[in-house]
Amino acid sequence: MEYQKILNTIQEELSYRNTTGKVASYIPELAKVDPKKFGMHLYCRDSGHYSIGDSKEKFSIQSISKVFTLTMAMQLLGESLWERVDVEPSGDPFNSLTQLEYEQGIPRNPFINAGALVIADILVSNLKNPKTDLLEFVRKITGNQEIDYDLTVATSEKSTGYRNYGLVNYMKALGNIKNDVEPILDFYFHQCSLAMSCEELANAFMLYANGGILLENGEKILSTKRVKRINALMQTCGFYDEAGEFSFEVGLPGKSGVGGGIVAIHPSKYSVAVWSPILNPKGNSELGMAALEKLTTLTGFSIF
- Nearer to ligand GLU among residue 55 and residue 113 (C-beta): 113
142 contact partners, CB below 8 Å, separation of at least 6: 196, 200, 203, 204
Selected binder of ligand GLU within 10, 29, 54, 63 (CB under 6 A): 63
157 part of the interface to ligand GLU, by CB under 6 A: yes
Which of positions 162-181 make contact with ligand GLU (CB under 6 A)? 164
96 part of the interface to ligand GLU, by CB under 6 A: no
Which of positions 189-248 make contact with ligand GLU (CB under 6 A)? 192
Contact 247, 258 (CB under 8 A): no
**Shortest Cβ distance from residue 163 to ligand GLU (Å)?**
7
Residue type, 77: L
Selected binder of ligand GLU within 89, 211, 257, 288 (CB under 6 A): 257
- Nearer to ligand GLU among residue 189 and residue 270 (C-beta): 189
286 part of the interface to ligand GLU, by CB under 6 A: no
Sign of the alpha-carbon torsion through 17, 38, 271, 148: negative
Contact 39, 197 (CB under 8 A): yes
* Ramachandran region, residue 267 (left: φ > 0; alpha: ψ -120 to 50; beta: rest): beta
Residue 59 DSSP one-character state: E
Binding to ligand GLU by CB under 6 A, coded x per residue (else -) over 126-145, reads: --------------------
**Shortest Cβ distance from residue 304 to ligand GLU (Å)?**
25
3-class SS of residue 48: strand
Selected binder of ligand GLU within 69, 113, 210, 285 (CB under 6 A): 113
- Nearer to ligand GLU among residue 54 and residue 242 (C-beta): 242
71 part of the interface to ligand GLU, by CB under 6 A: no
62 part of the interface to ligand GLU, by CB under 6 A: yes
d(CA 39, CA 272): 11
CA distances from 83 to 102, 107, 173, 179, 231 (A): 17, 10, 17, 17, 20
How many CA atoms, within 13 angstroms, populate the side-chain half-sphere of residue 144?
15
Sign of the alpha-carbon torsion through 279, 284, 286, 287: positive
Selected binder of ligand GLU within 258, 290, 291, 292 (CB under 6 A): 258
**Shortest Cβ distance from residue 258 to ligand GLU (Å)?**
4
**Shortest Cβ distance from residue 95 to ligand GLU (Å)?**
6
- Residue 126 burial by CB count (10 A; 0-12/13-18/19+): exposed, middle or buried? middle
Q: Kindly list the residues in this chain that would bind ligand GLU in the complex (CB under 6 A).
A: 62-63, 94-95, 113, 157, 164, 192, 257-258
